Amino acid sequence: MNERINLLLPDPGRRTQKRIEGRCWLGCDPEEMQAVTWIGPVTVRGVAGDASAAAYACDDCINRIYGMARADQYERDLPAHLLAARPRGHP
Ligand SMILES: [Zn+2]
């Protein structure tokens, strides 16, 4: 049921990664219209049933997730004796 958010996926409707004017689904005010890029389909299960939509995000939020993913990947690749010295998520 759950699929990964893959920021490399092309927009299936437009076949392009060009930005459109829309709402950022990640860290921004959902009322703010700005330049956003398609990041993938989102399906959320709730009390009224499943809700699905195409999700978009702004460059700042995509870059933030990219930075977090890189940091997490870096920590996973560290030898165990170095990881033990600090809590996960704090480089
Ligand atoms: Zn954003």
CB 57 within 8 A of CB 39: yes
For ligand 1, the distance from its centroid to the CA atom of residue 65, given in whole angstroms, is 10
Minimum mean pLDDT range among 13-17, 26-30, 46-50, 74-78: 13-17
For ligand 1, the distance from its centroid to the CA atom of residue 21, given in whole angstroms, is 12
Residue type, 66: Y
Question: Distance (Å, rounded) from C-alpha 26 to C-alpha 36?
Answer: 11
Output the six-digit token pair for 25. Answer: 């689904």
Is the model's pLDDT at 90 over the cut of 60? Answer: no
Task: Average the pLDDT over 57-80 and give the result.
Answer: 89
In terms of pTM, does the model score above 0.95? no
| pLDDT at 84 (0 to 100) | 65
For ligand 1, the distance from its centroid to the CA atom of residue 25, given in whole angstroms, is 7
Task: Average the pLDDT over 53-80 and give the result.
Answer: 89
For ligand 1, the distance from its centroid to the CA atom of residue 45, given in whole angstroms, is 23
For ligand 1, the distance from its centroid to the CA atom of residue 82, given in whole angstroms, is 33
Question: Distance (Å, rounded) from C-alpha 88 to C-alpha 91?
Answer: 8
Is the model's pLDDT at 83 over the cut of 80? Answer: no
